[in-house]
Amino acid sequence: PVPAPCNPSHFMKGAIIQLATGELKRVEDLQTQDFVRSAEVSGGLKIDSSMVVDIRASQQRPGLVSLHFNVGEQQSKVTIDVPPEHPFFVFGQGWSSCSPERTAQLYGLACHHLQVGDVCVSITLQQQLQPQQQKQPQ
């Protein structure tokens, strides 16, 4: 069999995913709550809500799609270039990609069509809070 290095096999239908709770699920059976729970019990990782604000063809890398996100409470602007078949997990909706047809061909994973306004699950490092400064009496 020819390996397909560009297609990470964790998105293949039937791939076994371990949640932070230790539970094993197939990638196609994952629910929003699985990501939320996993982030809660895993130290150091935090779930962010990342809203898709723009989708366009990548200028730098032909064949890829530039996805523009507003990330987290800060609404930080982040752009990533991905192949059109790359699936994202949309809150309350599930797997979605820019090309559900290609995702189905390459991974066998059923996807919705990713659109502007969709809110995707993303992760970031939990903010390491500085020790509270003691309030010195003046």
Question: Following DSSP, what letter does each residue of 31-69 receive, concatenated?
Answer: -HHHHHHHHHHSTTEEEEEEEEEEEEE-SSSTT-EEEEE
Nearer to another protein, 56 or 77 (CB): 77
By CB under 8 A, name the binding residues for another protein: 8-11, 15-20, 24, 27, 30, 34-35, 38, 42, 45, 48, 50, 69, 71-72, 74, 76, 78, 80, 88-89, 120-125
CB closer to another protein, 79 vs 137: 79
C-alpha distance from residue 109 to each of 8, 20, 26, 77 (Å): 13, 22, 11, 28
Give the residue with the Cβ less far from another protein, 36 or 137. Answer: 36
